[in-house]
Structure 1
Amino acid sequence: MNIENIKALGLWPDSKKTTTNKGLAELENLGYNLFYIGKNADLYSCPGDEAKVLLVRSDRTSVFDIPLNLEIEGKGKIQTAISNFGASFAKKAGIRTAILDENVSSDVEEFERCQMMELCKPLEAEIEGEVVQFELIFRNYLTGSLFEAIKNGLDPYGLNLPSNLTEWHKFDSAIFTPTTKGIKDEPLKTSSVKEKFPEIISSLEKLFNDFTAFAKTRGIVVVDTKFEIFVDKNGSWVLGDEVLTPESSRFIALEDFEKGNFISMDKQILRDFGKKENWKEQSKSLKAGEKLQVNVPQEIKDKILNGYKTILERLSK
Structure 2
Amino acid sequence: MSQYASLNLPLLHAGKVRELYALPDPDRMLMVATDNVSAFDFVLDSLIPDKGVVLTQLSLWWFGQLAGLIPNHIVEADVPAAVTRRAVVVEKLRMVPVEAVARGYLTGSGWAEYQQTGTVCGVTLPAGLHDGSRLARPIFTPARKAPLGEHDENVTYEQMCEFVGEETGEKIRDATIAIYEHAEPIARERGIVLADTKFEFGLRGDGTLVLADEVLTPDSSRFWDADAYASGRLVSFDKQYLRDWLVHDSGWDRSGGTPPPPLPDEVVAATRQRYLDAYRRLTGRELDLG
TM-score tier by shorter-chain length is 0.7 to 0.9
For residue 95 of structure 1, report the CA deviation from its aligned partner: 0.9
Residue of 210, 215, 219 corresponding to 1:243: 215
For residue 163 of structure 1, report the CA deviation from its aligned partner: 3.7
Question: Is the partner of 1:136 in helix, strand or coil?
Answer: strand
Question: Is the partner of 1:313 in helix, strand or coil?
Answer: helix
Residue of 8, 19, 34 corresponding to 2:11: 34
Task: Provide the residue aligned with 1:15 in structure 2.
Answer: none
RMSD (Å), alpha carbons? 2.3
Aligned residues: 274
Give the distance between the partners of 1:73 and 1:54, measured in 2 at CA: 21
Alignment of 1:149-228 (within 5 A): 149-153=113-117, 155-182=119-146, 183-190=150-157, 193=160, 196=167, 197-228=169-200
TM-score by length of 2: 0.85
Give the distance between the partners of 2:3 and 2:226, measured in 1 at CA: 44
Give the distance between the partners of 2:63 and 2:33, measured in 1 at CA: 16
Give the distance between the partners of 1:96 and 1:161, measured in 2 at CA: 32
Give the distance between the partners of 2:104 and 2:172, measured in 1 at CA: 19
Residue of 57, 64, 74 corresponding to 1:81: 57
Distance 1:301 1:279, change over 3 A: farther
Task: Provide the residue aligned with 1:94 in structure 2.
Answer: 69
Q: For residues 177-219 of structure 1, what are the alpha-carbon distances to aligned partners after superposition, in whole Å with 9 as ceiling and x for unaligned?
A: 1121112222222356585532332232121111001111111
User: What is the one-letter code of the residue matched to 1:120?
Assistant: L
User: What is the one-letter code of the residue matched to 1:295?
Assistant: P
Identical positions, percent: 30
Residue 281 (structure 1) aligned with residue 245 (structure 2) = no
For residue 35 of structure 1, report the CA deviation from its aligned partner: 4.1
Task: Provide the residue aligned with 2:93 in structure 1.
Answer: 120
Question: Is the partner of 1:72 in helix, strand or coil?
Answer: coil
Higher Rg of the two aligned structures: 1
Question: Is the partner of 1:263 in helix, strand or coil?
Answer: coil
TM-score by length of 1: 0.78
For residue 100 of structure 1, report the CA deviation from its aligned partner: 1.8
Task: Provide the residue aligned with 1:137 in structure 2.
Answer: 101
In structure 1, list runs of 5 or more residues that go unmatched.
1-18, 124-132, 286-291
**Contact 2:171–2:209 under 8 Å retained in 1:** no
Give the distance between the partners of 1:151 and 1:219, measured in 2 at CA: 29
Residue of 201, 204, 227 corresponding to 1:229: 201
